[in-house]
Structure 1
Amino acid sequence: MEALRADDPAQVGPYALVGRLDAGELGQAYAGRHPAGPLVTVTVPYPHLAADPGFRDRFRADVGVTRRVAGPFVLPVDADTESPTPWLVTAGPDVPTLASAVTGGGPLPPYRIRELAVALTGALVGVREAGAALVGLEPSAVVMTPDGPRLSPFGITRLAHGDAGRSDPDAVWTLGAVLHFAATGRPPTAAPAGWQPGPPVVAEPVLAQLISDCLAASPTARPTLADLVGRLNATAVPGAVLLPPVRPRPWWRDVPASVVATAVGLAVIAVLVLSAGGSHDSFGAQPPGVAVSGIPGLPGTLPTDDGDGGDGGDGGDQPDGSQDPSDSPSATQDPIGTAATGDCFDDTGAPQTAGLRPTGCAPRTFKVVDVLHGTTDTGGCANVPEDSWNVPYPAQNLVLCLSYLYDHGSAYHAVPGDCVWGTSADSAWNGIDCQNGAFTVQKRYTGTTDGSRCNSLRDNDWVEHFTVGGRSDLDVTLCLTMNYPDDAGHATQHECMRFTGTTTRPSLHASSCGSANVVVTGRTPTYNNAKFCGTDAWATWKPDYYPKLAYTVCYRRR
């Protein structure tokens, strides 16, 4: 920041200027301070631009759409578009952008990448709900404030019409590109048509997969905003900021003003014409379905405040005293006997005495995953995926195979061989593609939270419990093993291994001693502990959220 020059203004609007910054494409930037606020950047457009009516129109439009975009993850913009000397206020020069933070300090750690993913997804939701669309999202447009990452929307948002901006796959791709930059320090490599790049190297596998999905080569394969919100919320650590669900935007918000004006005008004309037609003397012969006001009426009568028909009648009886067939109660259906796959039930009973009641599918309810007809043998549900509880129904000679909709992640239904991941014992756990840093299910136990059953398993690294209040028969315990980058993760002292790679990037794989070329001389559960190995070579790795599963393995040539 330089000192102000003699020809620089001392104040712009309510902002006192305290220094001179760089000049950009828009104009000269200054450091300014509001009497009640922090340091900000004040940009004054060049005089020749301020005098250009076309620039004024564009500047006015950019500021207008930027002000429409609001929310906790979007930086507010102050501006004066009408004064002889227009101006624009954005974040202060002392606040770094994502571009400068990564360039100066290297890739962000996983927890900061997650903060960034949440903030940018929330900002995209705000852009969508404002009826706008992003036309460019780069690391320089993301400001790393003390309260977390924030989007600076000026210049990169435009009004959207129709469905544009609702599930913009291009915006999702740019989100993935920004996250990739934050995680690796470089933009994603352009992929050939039809080839999907793998996840970037991020210690949190859920984030790695999310970034990879956002960068899918096919736009239709990329997640929607609702998908991103759901995935980030489902894997959030306890106490983390949760994103609100994506709300559908009212259709009329996207109808052009000219169309609205035309429709209103036609409606007024129609009402006037119909009213004029109803002003004749023949009041006794109204057209069918048209009320006296001239507005088309609905068949039947409107209810009064006490719930009866507006004509004071008996609520729909026919002239002969019989009930209107349309109002007759239908025969009561048996919701269990007519249940189909995809239906959901609450249970007010107990494991052996079910009390099923139809309900909407939601966490802590039971979803029908199969219906076995012609039997009351519950054994047929044993091979049904995600089956949790089986209810025989002798009255209809059937069995309902029910899946419990666990409220803290999809890993509740994981089986041996599946990969799962969560950030802690208390976080949500979800299924995930198998990759470094994820856990593979070794064993699944139902009806118990006794983790000691996992102790006898080779390479058991973690035990995760899923409890269901009031239904211990639905409790689940998963025995898990960490997916390490290679076999060094589970190597033990004196074990023979095959070494490949280089001394700085070794790769160790289990091998018979006859074909091995190194032997493990020691192991410690601390990361990067070269001192522990003395003069021996060593390999090390750690997962960010599980420091106890880190290792340094020492080895020497046989």
Structure 2
Amino acid sequence: MRALRHDDPAHVGPHVTLGPLDDEVEHTSAERRFVVRSADGDRTLLVRLPRPGVDPTRWAIEAEGARRLSVPGFLPVGEVGGGGAQLPWCAGPYVPALPLPDALRAYGRPLPDPVVRALGAALARTLATAHAQGVPHAGLSPAAVLLTADGPLLSCFGAVRAAAPDGEPRSGLPGLDSGCLAPEQAAGGRPRPPGDVYALGAVLAHAATGHTVPERDELPSFLREPVTACLSRDPERRPQAHRLFPHPEPAGPMPLPAPLVVALAHQSARILAAEFPVPAPWTAH
């Protein structure tokens, strides 16, 4: 977790900013994410704001939509705020987490096959649960995947909807990862579950190779068929999320390589050690 920069907010709503979650400021993401502490110092939260260039009004609508959801595997939203002259923001409990691009950087290469397999199974389960409720995530990308000790969480809910209304082209718009944007959504189509499946294929390709549009031969053998099917340009030919990785995974958290466990521990230690402004003692005059 890098130090605060001059253009990072010192406060978000009533909360004091401790540092950004993302190491790489150039992540393609619809939101900026910061670890904050509540004004009373009792709670540590992960707060999110729209990235410059993203429509704050549409982003706020998606943040409120996320607050109303209860989907295991979606990053929870407990508070929303801002508006008017202030940027909108939303917040939820903080747990040590690495955005997928930062995880690959910490590991120094693409993730091992067992980790990618477990990641695919976990994300497919999350999307299948959401789709069964009639909810497309509409924002899945490598930067939206946060790796934690207990499994992945999905951030950036509704980024495609926030970028532009249905009917308007979305290619090249701020906050969207072009490698994860299904062709029908890029053309302005309404986000639907097949678009999430397309993005899932791109995310797993990124985890396994380091980029979202690899050649088929670059993929490990167990991913070639599902990723190729997910990335079909025809949404009707993509598999449903619940049909991907159908074999049950072992119980327990997703296995993480040692360098990622160390990176999560370092992040947690920095947050615990972060200085929190303490008001000067009150004195009567």
Q: TM-score, normalised by structure 2?
A: 0.58
1:36 Cα shift? 5.0
| 1:118 matched residue in structure 2 | 121
Q: Is the 8 A contact 1:181 1:187 kept in 2?
A: yes
1:170 paired to 2:174: no
C-alpha change, 1:145 and 1:36, in structure 2 (3 Å) is farther
C-alpha change, 1:115 and 1:38, in structure 2 (3 Å) is farther
Q: Is the 8 A contact 1:21 1:29 kept in 2?
A: yes
Alignment partners' CA distance in 1, 2:30 and 2:219: 38
| 1:183 matched residue in structure 2 | 208
1:133 paired to 2:136: yes
Q: Is the 8 A contact 1:4 1:18 kept in 2?
A: no
Q: Is the 8 A contact 1:69 1:130 kept in 2?
A: no
Question: Match for 1:89: what amino acid?
Answer: A
| 1:239 matched residue in structure 2 | 251
1:75 Cα shift? 0.6
Work out the percentage of aligned pairs sharing the same amino acid. Answer: 28
Once the two structures are superposed, the pairs formed by residues 76-475 of structure 1 within 5 Å of their partners are 76-77=76-77, 78-82=79-83, 85=86, 86-89=88-91, 95-105=97-107, 106-156=109-159, 158=161, 168-189=193-214, 198=216, 200-202=218-220, 205-216=221-232, 218-228=234-244, 232-234=245-247, 236-239=248-251
* Structure 2 unmatched runs, 5+: 167-189, 254-285
Alignment partners' CA distance in 1, 2:95 and 2:216: 36
Q: Is the 8 A contact 2:33 2:46 kept in 1?
A: no
Deviations 1:95-115 (A, max 9, x none): 321112123421111221122
Alignment partners' CA distance in 2, 1:170 and 1:27: 20
C-alpha change, 1:29 and 1:114, in structure 2 (3 Å) is closer
Question: Match for 1:112: what amino acid?
Answer: V
Alignment partners' CA distance in 1, 2:81 and 2:111: 36
Structure having the larger proportion of residues in helix: 2
Question: Match for 1:40: what amino acid?
Answer: L
| 1:384 matched residue in structure 2 | none
Q: Is the 8 A contact 2:35 2:94 kept in 1?
A: yes
Deviations 1:114-160 (A, max 9, x none): 22112221232244245343444210111111211111033425499
1:184 Cα shift? 1.4
Alignment partners' CA distance in 2, 1:170 and 1:20: 29
Question: Match for 2:46: what amino acid?
Answer: V
C-alpha change, 1:181 and 1:33, in structure 2 (3 Å) is same
Alignment partners' CA distance in 1, 2:146 and 2:101: 9
Q: Is the 8 A contact 2:47 2:92 kept in 1?
A: yes
| 1:397 matched residue in structure 2 | none
| 2:266 matched residue in structure 1 | none
1:4 Cα shift? 8.7
| 1:40 matched residue in structure 2 | 46
C-alpha change, 1:172 and 1:102, in structure 2 (3 Å) is same
C-alpha change, 1:140 and 1:55, in structure 2 (3 Å) is closer
* Structure 1 unmatched runs, 5+: 190-196, 242-558
Alignment partners' CA distance in 2, 1:31 and 1:117: 27
Secondary structure of the structure 1 residue equivalent to 2:18: strand
C-alpha change, 1:9 and 1:69, in structure 2 (3 Å) is same
Alignment partners' CA distance in 2, 1:153 and 1:42: 9
| 2:62 matched residue in structure 1 | 62
User: How many residues are aligned here?
Assistant: 218
Question: Match for 1:88: what amino acid?
Answer: C
C-alpha change, 1:153 and 1:127, in structure 2 (3 Å) is farther
Alignment partners' CA distance in 1, 2:116 and 2:31: 33
Deviations 1:28-49 (A, max 9, x none): 8653124554452454888xx9
Secondary structure of the structure 2 residue equivalent to 1:233: coil
Question: Match for 2:97: what amino acid?
Answer: V
Q: Tell me which of the two structures has the higher relative contact order, counting C-alpha pairs closer than 8 angstroms and 6 or more residues apart.
A: 2
Q: Is the 8 A contact 1:138 1:174 kept in 2?
A: yes
Q: Is the 8 A contact 1:169 1:220 kept in 2?
A: yes
Question: Match for 1:154: what amino acid?
Answer: F
Question: Match for 1:209: what amino acid?
Answer: E
1:59 Cα shift? 3.4
Deviations 1:222-256 (A, max 9, x none): 2112322xxx232x344368xxxxxxxxxxxxxxx
1:12 paired to 2:24: no
Secondary structure of the structure 2 residue equivalent to 1:133: coil
1:179 Cα shift? 0.6
Q: Is the 8 A contact 1:29 1:43 kept in 2?
A: yes
Alignment partners' CA distance in 1, 2:43 and 2:208: 33
Secondary structure of the structure 1 residue equivalent to 2:213: coil
1:172 Cα shift? 1.4
C-alpha change, 1:104 and 1:158, in structure 2 (3 Å) is same
C-alpha change, 1:71 and 1:215, in structure 2 (3 Å) is same
Q: TM-score, normalised by structure 1?
A: 0.33
1:165 Cα shift? 5.9
1:186 Cα shift? 2.1
Alignment partners' CA distance in 2, 1:61 and 1:9: 24
Alignment partners' CA distance in 2, 1:44 and 1:222: 30
Structure having the larger proportion of residues in strand: 1
